[in-house]
Amino acid sequence: MIKNLNLSYNRLSGEIPDTGRIKSFNRSSFLGNVGLCGGSALLGRPPCVVQKREYIIRKSILYPLVAAVAVVCVLVAVFVYCFFFFFRKRDSKPEHPEHRMLRVMGSPSHHGSQIFTQRELEIATGEFNESHLLGRGTSGAVYKAVIDNGENNQNIVAVKVLHGDGNQSYRSFKRECQIMSQVKHRNLVRMVGYTWNKQFKALILEYIDNGNLAQHLYPGELEEGACELSLRDRMSIAIDVASGLEYLQEGCPVQIMHCDIKPENVLIDNNMVAHVADFGIGKLNAAVKSNESHVSTTHFLRGSIGYIPPEYGQGIEVSAKGDIYSFGVMVLEMITRRRPTSNMFPDGLDLRKWVVSSFPDHVWDVVDSTLKEIQSTHGALDELEKCCIQMLDVGLMCTEENPHERPAMSFVVQKLKQVMKSSNII
């Protein structure tokens, strides 16, 4: 056992333990070691202050760090508040007509659509001058507009100024426009952008300048006028429209019901490719002003007279089968070139019943006579009759009174393509 210990003048430093045998030694054991501290009171050494010094160091670092984090959090909170306050204020107030256009091209939040101001569209349409008017319907008026894209280039677009519910929120309208902007198909009219404020709503659409199907079927708006559409043209258009509807019903990220399929809503481009227009207008217009033959008096009865499926009048909600019915009526109209609202149909008779009365043995009684005139110069009238019967059969299938008996649009597309592929008509 150690009885004596002499560590004098060894330049030692640190804390002297105050436990065990070492606490019984006197101060002479540690002379000349100025770096030592602590130990028993008998040693006469100053108390150790290492822990206190470390605490001071930690405090000198920690306090500024906490303060810096607090300042950053406050700044972030202020920024977030200002951001949401700005956009809420912008959404709740009508946009001033002198504000310039805000373009959001390729922005993920707007799915590539562009936002235009009302003033920008007024300039592009000559203050919505009648000379720019392309058409007027119950969902709104359509104007031709010239938009400067900022690169010394000008794009021609169609601006559809919507009648609608002034109480619809910007968030709801924007969401519907975002859904429409995701719809991309060669047989659907592409949406370019939109405009919204409390008093004004508009869609900016792809411009297609070769008229609509009704204008091609009825030149001069006369059923007796000369029509230059061959049966092959009409079959191709029917396939295009069916393909667009198939995408809306079965291939779109969100199923969309058109609610107003008719020749006026089928645009034809210079290559005779058909594009379905006004899809989504049924959703965007919560309260449409009704006039003429267009009906939109309740949430379930939408469409144009003659094309509305019978179940809608019974209070059944809109469905894909309803659009299939409207398409079937349009197919019958394309082959017969008779409007479903024609004055030739007395009470109790409609386009479908008129076709059924002659189908299939006396089909020439209902087929558009101009088809026979076009085909007669090339012969093969038997082939024409066969194709007309097949096309009318598709129209009759789609217009079955019971919606459950109507085929799916994918089946209709395949059926029409088979008819086209097997035919030898011009």
Residue 170 belongs to domain with CATH number: 3.30.200.20
Whether residue 226 sits in one domain with residue 174: no
On the question of pLDDT at 196 being above 50, the answer is yes
Tokens of 284: 């965007």
Q: Please identify, among 206, 230, 246, the residue that sits at the C-terminal boundary of a domain.
A: 206
Known binding residues are: 160
Q: Name residue, tokens 């809420």.
A: 88
* Residue 74 within any structural domain of the chain: no
Same-domain pairing of 193 and 260:
no
308 with 407, same domain: the answer is: yes
The verdict on residue 392 lying in a domain is: yes
> Do 175 and 258 sit in the same domain of this protein?
no
> Domain range holding 365?
213-422
Cα gap 323→259, rounded to integer Å: 6
Residue ending a domain, among 206, 222, 247, is: 206
User: Is 47's pLDDT higher than 60?
Assistant: yes
Domain count, the chain: 2
**One domain, residues 182 and 280:** no
Alpha-carbon dihedral angle through residues 217, 220, 223, 228, given to the nearest 10 degrees: -40
Instruction: Tell whether 409 is covered by a domain.
Output: yes
Q: 274-311 pLDDT, tens per residue?
A: 999 987 655 444 333 333 333 333 344 567 899 999 99
- Binding residue positions for ATP: 160
> What rounded mean pLDDT belongs to the chain?
80
Question: Which residue's structure tokens are 């602590």?
Answer: 38
Q: Which of 3-7, 140-144, 156-160, 197-201 has the lowest mean pLDDT?
A: 3-7
- Write out pLDDT tens, residues 76-105: 888 888 877 665 555 444 433 333 333 333
Do 178 and 307 lie in a common domain? no
- Domain boundary, last residue among 206, 226, 249: 206
CA-to-CA distance for 351 and 180, rounded, in angstroms? 33
Domain match, 201 and 225 both: no
Q: Are residues 158 and 186 in the same domain?
A: yes
Strand partners, 9: none
Asked if residue 307 lies in contact with residue 296, where contact means CB atoms within 8 angstroms, the answer is no
For residue 260, indicate whether it is catalytic: yes
Task: Indicate if 125 and 160 belong to the same structural domain.
Answer: yes
User: 275 and 411 in one domain?
Assistant: yes
309 and 388 both lie in a single domain: yes
Determine, yes or no, domain membership for 382.
yes
Q: Mark whether 239 and 195 lie in a shared domain.
A: no
Q: Out of 240, 260, 278, 323, which one is annotated catalytic?
A: 260
pLDDT of residue 198: 81
Global pTM reads 0.69
pLDDT at 215: 93
